[in-house]
């Protein structure tokens, strides 16, 4: 079989590059390290109308400039992306696009990450020859949470084609034609698809903006960290945008094995919502009937003294990191508590026809498979606490618990980030960092171990659970506590059969499947 794709060689801006036959000139240019400016082409959207005319390049032997996004690379082809003709054409497209553009960069949310701004700056035209009045379209709402700034729109139709090609929902259309064209919902239709938020990400300018983000942060005021969406068991790779220690926006981060360029709207909101709630900011231990603040050293020493061999139960959260769950398991083994359960909130499944692997899954927690990997069992509700038993709760597992839950326990250790009502019954509270405040890993529905990185500072002296649980174990006579995520992961990998070959560094940003991944850890489908 000679199925190996035929290789062809072409020259782009003097750089020789070999690519598979069928590659477009624009993609071949990427291989050659040449960026061809473009608007309508998006690597994740299959349809390529070649309508923005920004990627026109000169190809020797072709009478006209050709759109590189669709023109197939040919063997021996010589391409010039910066010849005078190509440059002039590109400059001209920018001039055309700016004719009716309001130039409101100072108040535009895309400023600083806008392809129109970038290329306009690059082609350097200070003055427009346009002496006529600009068209004014104003602002519209295309979905309940998405605003459309018509004047900024360059009608590249990426949003329309995302909805058509990927979401399989043609609720969004181009209305009118010619210079009056704009984006709108089809008459009588609502843009209510569960993945509609992606139209904001594919917009190369500031025409589509989430209402909960509008005017909140300038691109250069935000920090960005790679994260994993905690919204469901899919584990979409995301970029967490932070301003002044608040998550202001999450965007999908490319991972072809998990979520491609996309994520759902439920996930998009999940981290932004995590800013809410009353936080545990310092260790609290019960002294004379009252929970009193203590230093970490005092609290850990005191807890280590109180926690002897005990009978009891454990409740964990499927939103806790693998590392936290691993040290919880070691701790439970140490003090003689077996089993342990977790609950998973259930929701409706939502699908994306153009990338079927990506779903908003019914399990609305990011680490169901990780919790099962560490021998915790899924349960429908909270277990009853036998009078006088030891109760260990790790992660925010009591958010829907009755206020008196755990009041009858003999010793109640609460490890969590939020002070929910039931936490008031605890004997000791150890303040944990939330997911965006820590490094760690999750295991997604198909057994893919994925890293997420710290994006926020924790309030008070809250710390990652894996860090202080390892120190608590040290107090109980175990190994020295860990301070680095790499060490925590290494300890876990050593103690977990299906992770043996893994390392924190080796996971990289795309993750790795658990060994024996032929059997998904969770029957999610």
Partner 1 sequence: MGYPYSHDLEVGTQLSRHFGDEKARTLEGWKELGGYATLPKALEMDPDAITEVVKNSGLRGRGGAGFPTGVKWSFMPKEPNGAHYLCCNADESEPGAFKDREILRWVPHLLIEGCLIAARAIRAEHVYIYVRGEFFPFSAILRDAVVEAYEGGYVGENILGSGWSCDVTVHLGAGAYIAGEETGLMSSLMGGRAEPWIKPPFPAQSGAFGRPTTVNNVETLAAVPMIVEEGADWYRQWGTEKSPGTKLWCCSGHLERPGTYELPLGVNLRDVIYEVCGGAPNGKKIKAVIPGGSSTPMLTDAELDCSGCYEGMAEAGSALGTASPIVMNEDTNIVSAMRRIAQFYAHESCGQCVQCREGTSWTAKILHRIETGEGTAEDLDTLYHLCEQMTGRTICPLADSVVFPLLSSLDKFKDEYEALIKR
Residue ranges in contact with partner 1 by CB under 8 A: 49-54, 56, 63-65, 67, 70, 88-89, 92-93, 96-97, 99-100, 129-132, 154-155, 157, 173-174, 176-181
Least separation in angstroms between residue 107's CB and partner 1 is: 23
- What sign does the CA torsion over 105, 109, 111, 117 have? negative
Considering the complex, state which of residue 26 and residue 155 has its C-beta at the smaller distance from partner 1.
155
Q: Which two tokens stand for residue 358?
A: 């990506």
Least separation in angstroms between residue 510's CB and partner 1 is: 34
Q: How far apart are CA 290 and CA 367, in angstroms?
A: 34
Q: Which two tokens stand for residue 64?
A: 């006209």
Least separation in angstroms between residue 19's CB and partner 1 is: 19
Question: CA 298, 303, 305 angle in degrees (round to 5)?
Answer: 95
Least separation in angstroms between residue 221's CB and partner 1 is: 31
Alpha-helix runs per DSSP H in 307-360: 322-335
The answer to whether 469 and 299 are in contact (CB under 8 A) is: no
Considering the complex, state which of residue 11 and residue 83 has its C-beta at the smaller distance from partner 1.
83
Considering the complex, state which of residue 89 and residue 513 has its C-beta at the smaller distance from partner 1.
89
Alpha-helix runs per DSSP H in 400-517: 465-475, 485-495, 504-507
Least separation in angstroms between residue 393's CB and partner 1 is: 57
Q: Which residues contact 131 (CB under 8 A, 6 or more apart)?
A: none
Place of tokens 């310092």: 282
Q: How far apart are CA 150 and CA 129, in angstroms?
A: 22
Considering the complex, state which of residue 70 and residue 217 has its C-beta at the smaller distance from partner 1.
70
CA distances from 300 to 103, 216, 466, 480, 499 (A): 58, 40, 13, 14, 29
Least separation in angstroms between residue 91's CB and partner 1 is: 9
Considering the complex, state which of residue 180 and residue 377 has its C-beta at the smaller distance from partner 1.
180
At 224, phi and psi to the nearest 5? -135, 135
Least separation in angstroms between residue 263's CB and partner 1 is: 29
Considering the complex, state which of residue 100 and residue 444 has its C-beta at the smaller distance from partner 1.
100
Least separation in angstroms between residue 181's CB and partner 1 is: 4
Considering the complex, state which of residue 63 and residue 477 has its C-beta at the smaller distance from partner 1.
63
Separation of CA 69 from chain center: 28
Considering the complex, state which of residue 170 and residue 311 has its C-beta at the smaller distance from partner 1.
170
CA distances from 102 to 107, 126, 182, 213, 215 (A): 11, 15, 15, 20, 17
């Amino acid at each position: 079989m000679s199925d190996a794709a035929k290789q062809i060689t072409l020259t782009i801006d003097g750089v020789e590059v070999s690519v598979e036959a069928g590659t477009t000139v624009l993609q071949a240019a990427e291989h050659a390290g040449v960026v061809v400016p473009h608007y309508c082409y998006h690597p994740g959207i299959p349809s390529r109308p070649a309508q923005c005319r920004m990627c026109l390049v000169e190809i020797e032997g072709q009478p006209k400039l050709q759109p590189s996004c669709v023109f197939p690379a040919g063997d021996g082809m010589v391409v010039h992306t910066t010849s005078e003709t190509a440059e002039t054409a590109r400059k001209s497209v920018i001039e055309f696009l700016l004719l009716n553009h309001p130039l409101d960069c100072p108040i535009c949310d895309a400023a600083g990450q806008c392809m129109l701004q970038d290329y306009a700056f690059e082609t350097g035209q200070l003055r427009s020859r346009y002496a006529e009045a600009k068209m004014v379209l104003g602002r519209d709402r295309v979905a309940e949470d998405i605003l459309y700034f018509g004047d900024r729109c360059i009608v590249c139709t990426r949003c329309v084609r995302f909805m058509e090609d990927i979401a399989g929902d043609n609720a969004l259309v181009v209305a009118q034609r010619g210079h009056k064209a704009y984006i709108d919902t089809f008459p009588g239709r609502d843009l209510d698809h569960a993945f509609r938020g992606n139209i904001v990400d594919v917009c190369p300018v500031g025409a589509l903006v989430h209402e909960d983000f509008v005017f909140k942060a300038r691109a250069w005021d935000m920090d960005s960290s790679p994260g994993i969406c905690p919204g469901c068991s899919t584990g979409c790779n995301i970029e967490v945008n932070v301003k002044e220690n608040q998550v202001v926006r999450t965007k999908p981060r490319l991972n072809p094995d998990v979520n491609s360029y996309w994520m759902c709207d439920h996930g998009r909101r999940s981290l932004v919502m995590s800013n809410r709630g009353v936080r545990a900011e310092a260790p609290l231990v019960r002294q004379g009937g009252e929970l009193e603040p203590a230093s970490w050293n005092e609290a850990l020493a005191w807890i280590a003294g109180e926690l002897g061999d005990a009978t009891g139960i454990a409740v964990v959260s499927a939103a806790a990191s693998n590392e936290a769950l691993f040290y919880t398991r070691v701790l439970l083994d140490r003090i003689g508590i077996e089993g342990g359960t977790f609950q998973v909130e259930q929701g409706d499944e939502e699908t994306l026809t153009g990338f079927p692997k990506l779903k908003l899954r019914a399990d609305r927690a990011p680490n169901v498979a990780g919790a099962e990997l560490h021998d915790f069992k899924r349960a429908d509700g909270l277990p009853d606490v036998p009078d006088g038993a030891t109760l260990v709760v790790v992660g925010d597992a009591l958010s829907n618990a009755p206020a008196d839950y755990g009041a009858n326990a003999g010793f109640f250790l609460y490890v969590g980030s939020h002070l929910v009502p039931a936490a008031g019954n605890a004997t000791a509270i150890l303040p944990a960092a939330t997911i965006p405040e820590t490094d760690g890993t999750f295991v997604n529905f198909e057994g893919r171990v994925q890293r997420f990185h710290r994006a926020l500072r924790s309030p008070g002296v809250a710390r990652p659970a894996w860090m202080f649980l390892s120190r608590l174990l040290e107090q109980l006579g175990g190994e020295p506590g860990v301070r680095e995520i790499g060490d925590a992961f290494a300890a876990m990998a050593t103690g977990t059969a299906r992770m043996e070959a893994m390392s924190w560094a080796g996971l990289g940003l795309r993750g790795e499947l658990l060994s024996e991944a032929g059997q998904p850890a969770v029957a999610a489908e």
